[in-house]
Amino acid sequence: MTSTSRSKRLRELPLHIMLLPGVLLTIVFSYIPIAGVVIAFQKFVPAKGIFESKWIGLDNFAYVFNLPSFTNVLWNTVFISVMKIIAGLIVPIIVALLLNEVVGKYFKRTIQTIIYFPYFLSWVILGGILIDILSPSSGIVNDVIKWLGFEPVFFLGDEKWFPFTLVISDTWKEFGYSTIVYLAALTAIDQHLYEAAIVDGANRWKQTWHVTLPGMMPIVMLMTVLSLGSVLNAGFDQVFNLYSPMVYSTGDIIDTFVYRLGLLQAQYGVATAVGLFKSVIAFGLIVLSNFLANRYAGYRIF
């Protein structure tokens, strides 16, 4: 009995050895930082370290929640990310449906290739491009606006426009990606359904409405439910590269707030508290969204 379990253990050994480096790195760079969130409950002083710093309970949380700017930051985060989720849902569905109607294979592939490209550029590069083309004095976008007879718009410096600039430019970068996911779902629809619909006298519009859209629904549901988990991620990379103090009132989000508080003002405990607050809510949302995805779309992470 012991000898079989021993030989079994021996046979498993190479697998454990394979996993070892990954496990060690994950402990150091993922689990130790998770344990490090205790500084959210401390008046953390780097010179004293985690073990010597003073414990202050929930003071950091109380301090942040009483900041007038924090409610604003929270609202901005949710507003911007919900708008992004909605735009990122509607635009790719429409484009996928239109691409699905295209007859020429080569044309279809070319369009797909082009709209997918911005997805692969970093927000530093896209930020550089947007700052240039959106400039009120010399940018090409405002040239067109002036040519049409309107007043130039300061997209990145006007607090009214800034959130919408974020949503539109994010959609520009991301919609190619989701379009391809939806197109893949479309090609998986059973062709017999279309034949049956034609026999029943359905025209193209009715086929789209009664066959294509319902066929897409599971993957649309899945993508939507999964995006629920990132409602507090309004896009740090994008906002950080496009915002300025002029638009803090409508453009400052949790992640940029944590960055300034923690790394620029060295309020480590407070910044960690905000980060923890965000992580806990995000965790709850991820668990919820996975539960919903599993329940309604039969999806599981692994």
Partner 1 sequence: MSKRLTSRRLFLLGNNLFLLLLAIACLLPLINVLAVSFSSSSAAAAGLVKLWPIEFTLASYKHALGKKEFIDAFIVSLQRVALGYSINMLLTILIAFPLSREKSALRSRSVYAWFFIVTMMFSGGLIPTYMTVRSVGILDTMWALVLPGAVPVFNVILLMNFFRNLPKEIEEAAHIDGAGHWRVLLSIYLPLSKPAIATITLFVLVGHWNAWFDGLIYMNSPANYPLQSYLQTVIIEVDPSLVSNTELINSQLVSDRTFKAAQVFLAALPVLAIYPFLQKYFMKGLVMGSVKG
Considering only residues 104-143, where is the footprint of partner 1 by CB under 8 A?
Answer: 104, 107, 110-118, 120-125, 127-133, 137-140, 143
User: Under the criterion CB under 8 A, does residue 281 sit at the interface with partner 1?
Assistant: no
Considering the complex, state which of residue 72 and residue 233 has its C-beta at the smaller distance from partner 1.
233
- Give the angle 37-40-44 at the CA atoms, nearest 5°: 105
Whether the Cβ atoms of residue 41 and residue 60 lie closer than 8 Å to each other: yes
**Positions in 23-62 near partner 1 (CB under 8 A):** 23, 25-26, 28-37, 39, 46
Binds partner 1 by CB under 8 A, chosen from 72, 202, 279, 292: 279
Whether the Cβ atoms of residue 271 and residue 258 lie closer than 8 Å to each other: yes
User: Under the criterion CB under 8 A, does residue 214 sit at the interface with partner 1?
Assistant: no
Question: In the bound complex, what is the minimum distance in angstroms from residue 110's beta carbon to partner 1?
Answer: 8
Binds partner 1 by CB under 8 A, chosen from 150, 283, 291, 296: 283
Question: In the bound complex, what is the minimum distance in angstroms from residue 57's beta carbon to partner 1?
Answer: 18
Considering the complex, state which of residue 81 and residue 142 has its C-beta at the smaller distance from partner 1.
142
Binds partner 1 by CB under 8 A, chosen from 89, 249, 259, 292: 259
Whether the Cβ atoms of residue 244 and residue 157 lie closer than 8 Å to each other: yes
**Positions in 216-235 near partner 1 (CB under 8 A):** 219
**Positions in 59-78 near partner 1 (CB under 8 A):** none
Can you tell me the distance from the alpha carbon of 235 to that of 122, in angstroms, rounded to the nearest whole number?
A: 12
First to last CA, the chain: 33
Question: In the bound complex, what is the minimum distance in angstroms from residue 26's beta carbon to partner 1?
Answer: 5
**Positions in 79-98 near partner 1 (CB under 8 A):** 95, 98
The number of CA neighbours under 13 Å toward the Cβ of 297 is 20
Number of residues that bind partner 1 (CB under 8 A): 92
What letter represents residue 43's amino acid?
A: K
Binds partner 1 by CB under 8 A, chosen from 80, 83, 93, 99: 99
Binds partner 1 by CB under 8 A, chosen from 41, 60, 268, 293: 268
Closest CA to 152 of 166, 167, 163, 141: 141
Considering the complex, state which of residue 31 and residue 75 has its C-beta at the smaller distance from partner 1.
31
Using the contact rule CB under 8 A, the part of the chain among 64-72, 191-199, 207-215, 254-262 near partner 1 is 254-262
Considering the complex, state which of residue 174 and residue 250 has its C-beta at the smaller distance from partner 1.
174
Residue 61's φ and ψ, nearest 5 degrees, are -65, -45
Which residues sit opposite 43 in a β-bridge? 54
C-alpha to C-alpha distances, 74 to 179, 192, 252, nearest whole angstrom: 30, 49, 9
Instruction: Find the DSSP H helices in the chain.
Output: 2-26, 32-35, 49-52, 59-65, 68-101, 105-116, 123-133, 140-147, 162-187, 191-199, 204-207, 213-228, 236-242, 248-251, 254-259, 268-297
Question: In the bound complex, what is the minimum distance in angstroms from residue 161's beta carbon to partner 1?
Answer: 17
Considering the complex, state which of residue 160 and residue 204 has its C-beta at the smaller distance from partner 1.
204
